[in-house]
Amino acid sequence: MIIKIVAIIIGLLIIGLAIYALHAKKLTVAILGAGAVSLLASIMFLLLAAPDVAMTEAAIGSGLSTIIFFYVLNKIRKQNG
């Protein structure tokens, strides 16, 4: 039961963060938001008995992806400057 409530909260957070990320003015916030969504999703995966996927999502979805995003953002900033 508690798990379910946690799951619902995570679900709501995911949606909320996603919307927030998309409407954030700053790109960094958007990227971080997406990373956070990924992280939350990986918790959800854990709840759903998928530790493998959770690890992967955490490592790749919220980790590497975000890093790549930032690299690109940085690069673009430099191109602007």
Partner 1 sequence: MVKNLYIILVLVGLGFMFYTFADGFESADKLNPVAERYAKQGPDEVGAANLVTAVVVTYRGLDTLGEVTILFLSAAIVAFFLKVTYGEEEKRQTRSVSEIMQTAARLLTPAVFLLGIYVFINGHLTPGGGFQGGAIIASGLVLMLLAKPNMKVSHTLIHVVESISGLAFVFIGVLGILYAGGFLDNSLMGMGTLGSLLSAGVIPLIYIFVGLKVGAELSNIVAHLQESQNEA
Partner 2 sequence: MENIGLENIALFSGLILSLVGLWGLLTQKNIIKMIVGFALLDTGIHLIMIAVGYVKNSTAPIIGEGVTKANAADVIADPIPQALVLTAIVIGLGITALMLAYAVKMHQKKKSLDINHYKDLKW
Burial degree of 61 (CB within 10 A; 0-12, 13-18, 19+): buried
CB of 25 to partner 1, least distance (A): 18
* Binding partner of 25, given partner 1, partner 2, none, CB within 5-8 angstroms per partner class: none
Q: Is 47 in the site for partner 2 (CB under 8 A)?
A: yes
**Footprint on residues 47-66 left by partner 1 (CB under 8 A):** 50-56, 59-60, 63-64
**Footprint on residues 7-36 left by partner 1 (CB under 8 A):** none
CB of 21 to partner 2, least distance (A): 6
Among 16, 9, 52, which residue's Cα sits nearest to residue 36? 16
Burial degree of 35 (CB within 10 A; 0-12, 13-18, 19+): buried
